[in-house]
Amino acid sequence: MPQDAEATVPAQLPSASIENRILVLRGQKVILDADLASLYGTTTKKINQQVRRNPHRFPADFAWRLARDEFEEVVTNCDHLRNLKYSRRLPTAFTEHGAVMAASVLNSPRAVEMSVLVVRAFVRMRRLLAVQEELAGKVSELERRVGEHDESLRDLVLTIRRLLEPSAGEPEERIGFSAAGEGEPSL
């Protein structure tokens, strides 16, 4: 492939396709080694080899091997990773920082260029999550307010109903003059 054609590939890759490859595992957003390898234009074997050769660059908060149950869940839920179910090795998950570190140890122009797009995808997802959390807070506040208003309206309706119903235990008070001889002096 000519070098110019390789350089245009990342610019044409929509950020949504990168975001679709980002998963949430162990409470963190990660990208698996197979997806990172395809983005960086290398093999999964080469990425994992670099992780093994440079363990000091990949602490546990940058990259880790999936547990068997995580692996099975990922393969079951992610259609684009269904070929991984035949893999003999458990995949490595890379956080945003791990993805950048992988690009630096691979040291290829495409890996460096793609790492910028990967970081932008992580940042965009972080922003979207912040917006979702803000919206969730506003919805909760709205629900609380509506609940208070519902309770106030319910009390108001009950009070109006009580005022409209005649009292059962109290005698009705008559308005007007009483006739003489009914126990009250007449005027």
Please say if the pLDDT value at position 10 is more than 60.
Answer: no
- At 45 the pLDDT is 92
What the block records as the tokens of 138 is 């506003």
pLDDT-based confidence at 1, cuts 50/70/90?
very low
Annotate 17-31 with b (16+ C-beta within 10 A) or e (fewer).
ebbebbbebeeebbb
Between CA 126 and CA 26 the distance in angstroms is 16
- Counting beta carbons within 10 angstroms of the beta carbon of residue 69, is it exposed (0 to 12), middle (13 to 18) or buried (19 or more)? exposed
Domain ranges for the chain, please list them: 3-129
- At 185 the pLDDT is 56
pTM score over 0.75: no
CB of 108 within 8 A of CB of 40? yes
DSSP state of 158: H
Model confidence over 67-105: pLDDT tens digits? 888 888 888 788 777 777 777 889 999 998 898 888 888
